[in-house]
Amino acid sequence: MKIGVVGTGYVGLVSGTCFAEFGIDVICVDKDAGKIERLKNGIIPIYEPGLEDLVAKQVKAGRLHFTTNLAEAMEGADAVFIAVGTPPSVIDGQADLTYVFEAAKEIAQNIKGYTVIVNKSTVPVGTARRVTDVIRAANPNADFDVVSNPEFLREGAAIDDFMRPDRVVVGTTSERARAVMRELYRPLYINETPMVMTTPESSEIIKYASNAFLAVKITFINEIANLCEAVDGNVQDVAKGMGLDGRIGSKFLHAGPGYGGSCFPKDTLALVQIGEQHKAPQTIVQTVVDVNNARQKSMADRVIAACGGSVKDKKIAVLGIAFKPNTDDIREAPSLVIIPELQSAGAKIAATDPVAMDNAKKVLNNVEWCEDAYATIKDADAVVIVTEWNEFRGLNMDKVADLVKTKCIIDLRNIYKLPEMEERGFHYVSIGRPALIDGKAASKIRAA
Ligand code: UGA
The Cα-based distances of 376 to 284, 317, 350, 357, 416 in angstroms read 39, 6, 6, 13, 18
Query: Which atom of ligand 1 sits closest to the CA of residue 388?
Result: 28
Q: Ligand 1 centroid vs 153 CA: distance in angstroms?
A: 9
Query: Which atom of ligand 1 sits closest to the CA of residue 215?
Result: 24
Give dist(CA 430, CA 411) in Å, integer.
5
pLDDT score recorded for residue 276: 95
Query: Which atom of ligand 1 sits closest to the CA of residue 262?
Result: 14
Q: Please write the tens of the pLDDT for every residue from 207-262.
A: 999 999 999 999 999 999 999 999 999 999 999 999 999 999 999 999 999 999 99
What number of helices (H) and strands (E) belong to the chain? Answer: 20, 16
Q: What is the mean pLDDT of the chain?
A: 94
Query: Which atom of ligand 1 sits closest to the CA of residue 161?
Result: 5
pLDDT score recorded for residue 442: 54
pLDDT score recorded for residue 413: 98
189: pLDDT confidence band, cut at 50, 70 and 90? confident
Query: Which atom of ligand 1 sits closest to the CA of residue 258?
Result: 33
Q: Please write the tens of the pLDDT for every residue from 308-364.
A: 999 999 999 999 999 999 999 999 999 999 999 999 999 999 999 999 999 999 999
pTM reported for the whole predicted model: 0.94
Q: Please write the tens of the pLDDT for every residue from 51-106.
A: 999 999 999 999 999 999 999 999 999 999 999 988 877 777 677 899 999 999 99
| Third-level CATH fold of 2-198 | Rossmann fold (3.40.50)
Annotated active-site residue 263? The verdict is yes
Q: Ligand 1 centroid vs 107 CA: distance in angstroms?
A: 32
pLDDT score recorded for residue 86: 87
CA dihedral 28, 32, 38, 43 (to 10 degrees): -70
pLDDT score recorded for residue 95: 79
pLDDT score recorded for residue 446: 47
Q: Ligand 1 centroid vs 136 CA: distance in angstroms?
A: 36
Q: Ligand 1 centroid vs 133 CA: distance in angstroms?
A: 33
Q: Ligand 1 centroid vs 405 CA: distance in angstroms?
A: 35
Given this chain, do its domains 2-198 and 292-447 carry the same CATH topology? Answer: yes
Nearest CA to ligand 1 atom 36: 252
The Cα-based distances of 188 to 55, 116, 198 in angstroms read 20, 19, 18
Nearest CA to ligand 1 atom 20: 154
Q: Ligand 1 centroid vs 244 CA: distance in angstroms?
A: 21
pLDDT score recorded for residue 439: 53
- The helix (H) or strand (E) run that includes residue 337 is helix 335-344
Rounded to 10°, the helix 127-138/98-110 angle is 40
Mean pLDDT along residues 135-158: 96
pLDDT score recorded for residue 401: 97
Nearest CA to ligand 1 atom 27: 259
Domain chopping of the chain, boundaries: 2-198, 208-290, 292-447
pLDDT score recorded for residue 172: 97
Q: Is 190 in contact with 217 (CB distance < 8 Å)?
A: no
Buried b (16+ CB within 10 A) or exposed e, 340-373: bbbbebebbbbbbbbebbebbeeebeebebbeeb
445: pLDDT confidence band, cut at 50, 70 and 90? very low
447: pLDDT confidence band, cut at 50, 70 and 90? low
Give dist(CA 12, CA 86) in Å, integer.
13
Residues with CB under 6 A from ligand 1: 122, 151-155, 211, 214, 218, 252-254, 256, 259-261, 263-264, 323-324
Quick one: residue 220, left, alpha or beta (phi over 0 = left, psi -120 to 50 = alpha)? alpha
In this structure, CATH architecture of domain 208-290: Orthogonal Bundle (1.10)
pLDDT score recorded for residue 94: 77
- The helix (H) or strand (E) run that includes residue 238 is helix 235-243
Give dist(CA 251, CA 244) in Å, integer.
10
Q: Please write the tens of the pLDDT for every residue from 380-399.
A: 999 999 999 999 999 999 99
| Third-level CATH fold of 292-447 | Rossmann fold (3.40.50)
Nearest CA to ligand 1 atom 24: 259
Nearest CA to ligand 1 atom 10: 263
Q: Which of 18, 28, 228, 263 is catalytic?
A: 263
